[in-house]
């Protein structure tokens, strides 16, 4: 029989665990830096509110109604609602996206884990920006070390997935997430002492210029950071008991996720400005800035070590949800048990992850170009672009279309089980605002409807 969370709280914890991860602390600051700050943050926040939240409710709702892996859920719901069988492809695309994302997510999580030991050994005490920079450079230029950490992280993830996501996740999220939050606050407090705090605040919140690609990245990140559009939230929703308010749970998850991201920004940018670094340092940004804080603050070695431990846990609870749709599907359809299903997926993800490992060193000059989309991207950048900027928003768009246009109103109303006005606002957003917004951002990004300054 299909499992169920033991309570509503466990679902909220697990979904928050999925949402809060490297996306908030590693990715949000570095893409904000690359895209010029203020306006990017604003577009991202708008996307969370107008696109992310309505789609998240829809995705949870579909999951709870289908009660299976996303692929089988879509198959079942298409049948129940008398719709085309091809809707099952939505489940497939999500499963593939999760697998692709995990392959590089695991490599970055490996960086975070390796920083537990760098910080713990006191390497950063009194550190300068240059010193921290070269320590990061040494790590990523060494394929063997990256490979070792990538391997450890994949194995750790697959162990939890093999045992069933419901055991263990609860403790990790209930105690470790709040602890991560507190440590983040401590770094923000340090940043306030750098004398450049307001510069960081201004960078994050004063509107400026943004490119079309920046708008697409902001939208893609809104999906990525709340784990949307690929079935992770759908599969968690499928374990959700009937009597839970989907709307309330969604608001909590989205708020928690956004607060953590903004705090990470407030922690990092003042350090960037105080040390003469540039915001557009790329994927290494947090590893080039946070160690400076840990090297100079009170009890920094302890705080920093704990921080990277908790960041690794946050990455772990997200990674689990990235691969759960695929594992659930293998168990349901291929008759393999969870252990083997996890092993197969683990091996496949590990292999693909090699591409990301090498893209930071021996393959760093190998690049890809897709006309109209991007030019000279590394393997890692290409994967990130295709998943976060294309596949997740596309998945979200189809979820919105299915839930708001193709599902009978009676079914969605029954499953949402909320007050009349909440239901109505949700449905209007999901029918008219959300899909149109996603389509406009897509078309603008490929230059089909003019370019905006
Ligand atoms: N939301 C996670 C993060 O911010 C990443 C993720 C994306 C997890 C998609 C599951 C699905 O780190």
> Does 451 map to a domain?
no
Q: Which domain CATH number covers 356?
A: 1.10.4160
Residue from 232, 263, 395 whose mutation best tests the ligand 1 pocket (most atoms within 8 A of CB):
232
> Does 450 map to a domain?
no
Smallest CA separation from ligand 1 atom 6, residue: 227
Q: Summarize the confidence of residues 243-272 as an average pLDDT.
A: 94
- Segments forming the whole domain that contains residue 419: 8-445
Distance 42 CA to ligand 1 centre (A): 20
Distance 112 CA to ligand 1 centre (A): 16
> Does 453 map to a domain?
no
- pLDDT tens digits for 288-331? 999 999 999 989 999 999 999 999 999 999 999 999 889 988 99
Taking each helix axis from N to C end, the angle separating 420-428 and 409-416, rounded to the nearest 10 degrees, works out to: 130
Smallest CA separation from ligand 1 atom 10, residue: 227
Smallest CA separation from ligand 1 atom 4, residue: 23
| 21 CA closest ligand 1 atom index | 12
Distance 21 CA to ligand 1 centre (A): 6
pLDDT score of 3 more than 70: no
In this prediction, residue 5 carries a pLDDT of 73
SS3 per residue for the chain: CCCCCCCHHHHHHHHHHHHCCHHHHHHHHHHHHHCCCHHHHHHHHHHHHHHHHHHHHHHHHHHHHHCCCHHHHHHHHHHHCCCCHHHHHHHHHHHHHHHHHHHHHHHHHHHHHHHHHHHHCCCCCCCCHHHHHHHHHHHHCCHHHHHHHHHHHHHHHHHHHHHCCHHHHHHHHHHHHHHHHHHHHHHHHHHHCCCCHHHHHHHHHCCCCCCHHHHHHHHHHHHHHCCCCCCHHHHHHHCCCCCCCHHHHHHHHHHHHHHHHHHHHHHHHHHHHHCCCCCCCHHHHHHHHHHHHHHHCCCHHHHHHHHHHHHHHHHHHHHHHHHHHHHHHHHHHHCCCHHHHHHHHHHHHHHHHHHHHHHCCCCCCCCEEECCCEEEECHHHHHHHHHHHHHHHHHHHHHHHHHHHHCCHHHHHHHHCCCHHHHHHHHHHHHHHHHHHHHHHHHHHCCCCCCCC
Say what percent of the chain tops pLDDT 90: 78
In this prediction, residue 417 carries a pLDDT of 87
- pLDDT tens digits for 123-170? 999 999 999 999 999 999 999 999 999 999 999 999 988 887 666 677
Distance 280 CA to ligand 1 centre (A): 22
The DSSP secondary-structure symbol of 369 reads: E
Residue from 224, 229, 327, 388 whose mutation best tests the ligand 1 pocket (most atoms within 8 A of CB):
224
Distance 318 CA to ligand 1 centre (A): 5
| 321 CA closest ligand 1 atom index | 10
In this prediction, residue 203 carries a pLDDT of 96
Residue from 15, 16, 20, 21 whose mutation best tests the ligand 1 pocket (most atoms within 8 A of CB):
21
Domain count, the chain: 1
> Does 452 map to a domain?
no
> Does 201 map to a domain?
yes
Distance 18 CA to ligand 1 centre (A): 6
> Does 402 map to a domain?
yes
In this prediction, residue 1 carries a pLDDT of 40
Average pLDDT, the chain: 92
In this prediction, residue 350 carries a pLDDT of 97
- pLDDT tens digits for 207-231? 999 999 999 999 999 999 999 999 9
In this prediction, residue 167 carries a pLDDT of 67
> Does 134 map to a domain?
yes
Residue from 234, 235, 260, 322 whose mutation best tests the ligand 1 pocket (most atoms within 8 A of CB):
322
- The H or E element containing residue 197 is helix 197-205
Find the residues whose C-beta lies inside 6 A of ligand 1. 18-19, 21-24, 101, 224-225, 227, 230, 232, 318, 321-322
Smallest CA separation from ligand 1 atom 7, residue: 227
Token representation of residue 408: 């009978």
| pTM for the model | 0.94
């Amino acid at each position: 029989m299909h499992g169920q969370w033991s309570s509503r709280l466990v679902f909220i914890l697990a979904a928050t665990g999925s949402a809060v991860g490297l996306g908030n602390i590693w990715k949000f600051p570095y893409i904000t830096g690359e895209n010029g700050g203020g306006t990017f943050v604003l577009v991202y926040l708008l996307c969370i509110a107008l696109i992310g939240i309505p789609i998240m409710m829809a995705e949870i709702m579909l999951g709870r109604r289908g009660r299976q892996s996303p692929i089988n859920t879509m198959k079942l719901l298409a049948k129940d609602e008398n719709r085309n069988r091809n809707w099952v492809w939505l489940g497939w695309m999500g499963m593939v996206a999760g697998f692709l994302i995990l392959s590089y997510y695991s490599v970055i999580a490996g960086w975070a884990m390796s920083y537990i030991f760098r910080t713990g050994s006191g390497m950063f005490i009194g550190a300068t920006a240059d010193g921290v920079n070269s320590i990061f450079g040494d790590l990523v230029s060494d394929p063997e070390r990256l490979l070792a950490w990538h391997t450890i992280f994949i194995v750790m993830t697959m162990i939890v997935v093999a045992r069933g996501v419901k055991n263990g996740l609860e403790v990790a999220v209930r105690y470790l997430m709040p602890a991560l939050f507190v440590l983040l606050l401590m770094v923000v407090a340090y940043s306030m002492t750098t004398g450049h705090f307001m510069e960081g605040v201004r960078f994050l919140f004063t509107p400026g210029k943004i490119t079309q690609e920046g708008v697409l990245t902001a939208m893609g990140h809104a999906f990525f950071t709340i784990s949307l559009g690929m079935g992770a939230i759908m599969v968690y929703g499928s374990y959700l008991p009937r009597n839970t308010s989907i709307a309330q749970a969604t608001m909590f998850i989205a708020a928690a996720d956004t607060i953590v991201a903004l705090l990470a920004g407030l922690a990092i940018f003042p350090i960037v400005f105080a040390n003469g670094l540039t915001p557009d340092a790329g994927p290494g940004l947090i590893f080039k800035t946070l160690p400076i804080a840990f090297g100079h603050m009170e009890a920094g070695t302890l705080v920093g070590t704990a921080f990277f431990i908790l960041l690794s846990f946050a990455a772990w609870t997200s990674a689990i949800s990235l691969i759960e749709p695929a594992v659930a599907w293998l168990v349901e359809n291929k008759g393999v048990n969870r252990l083997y299903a996890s092993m197969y997926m683990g091996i496949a993800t590990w292999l693909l992850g090699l591409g990301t490992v090498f893209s930071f060193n021996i393959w760093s000059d190998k690049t890809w170009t897709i006309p109209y989309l991007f030019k000279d991207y590394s393997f890692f950048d290409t994967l990130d672009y295709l998943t976060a900027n294309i596949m997740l928003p596309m998945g979200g768009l189809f979820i919105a279309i299915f839930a708001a246009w193709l599902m009978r109103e009676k079914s969605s109303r029954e499953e949402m089980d909320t007050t009349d006005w909440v239901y109505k606002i949700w449905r209007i957003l999901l029918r008219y605002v959300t899909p149109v917004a996603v389509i406009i951002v897509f078309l603008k990004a490929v230059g089909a409807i003019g370019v905006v300054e």
